[in-house]
Copies of this chain bind each other. A is one copy, B any other.
């Protein structure tokens, strides 16, 4: 279907069968290891498994200690998370050419459930393989990758907790997030109603109504323009009441 103009260097000698498998990835996008030389490739291919998984098979689950990343060769994989109220949310899909489970490279546990939506072909790349390449990341690079992972995780968290469910629940979850940025006096940035709406996917009017409600219930107090104080205890009590 797709024409291949340049044969990757490690394709010319396919002494190791895994080299041929990786060539298939190359068809779609630049392979993860496309930049390596022949010698390195022969070395790593020996350690990479390329299993085929049936639909609904679980690649890994959230919390599991990650010791491998995966490249998707065929099929679709979904990322799932479960809300603190126990609702499943599918956050994102990944397809051929995508790299998943990067947390493992940082020795972090996986953050999501990764499940095969269709029959899936993957390459399982142990963390050790990448570390053994002598291409170990410098401390600065390591630090950078951590920040990337943080951003990715924040994004997923936001999508999990702040985009579904009753507007009141989302509002409370947002207050939890904002509370983390409180200054020394416990003061928190109080967004405009329109901004609240655009964060939670609701209209500014509904945002206003719920803010009014929470003020009357003593969960928040508006102390100055664009500033408020959050009653953490009342917040968690209200959230608890919603989640049963």
**Residues of A in contact with B (beta carbons under 8 Å apart):** 1, 30, 32-36, 55, 76, 78, 80, 88-96, 98-100, 102, 105, 117-118, 130, 133, 135, 137-145, 147-152, 154-156, 158-159, 163-164, 177-178, 180-181, 184, 189, 191, 195, 198-199, 201, 226
Contacts and interface: CB of A to CB of B under 8 A. Distances in A.
A93 B177 contact: yes
A148 B152 contact: yes
Contacts of A156: 155
Nearest to A33: B140
Contacts of A88: 198
Contacts of A159: 155, 158-159, 163
A143 B30 contact: yes
A120 B105 CA distance: 32
A199 B160 CA distance: 10
Given A151-B98, A159-B155, A198-B89, A191 B140 contact: no
A117 B154 CA distance: 17
B143 A92 contact: no
Contact of A154 (B78, B92, B96, B191): B92
A151 B89 CA distance: 17
A90 B198 CA distance: 5
A145 B144 contact: yes
26 contacts: A35-B143, A36-B139, A80-B198, A88-B198, A90-B195, A90-B199, A91-B158, A92-B155, A93-B154, A93-B181, A98-B151, A102-B147, A105-B144, A117-B189, A117-B191, A117-B195, A118-B226, A135-B141, A141-B141, A148-B148, A155-B155, A155-B156, A159-B159, A159-B163, A163-B164, A163-B201
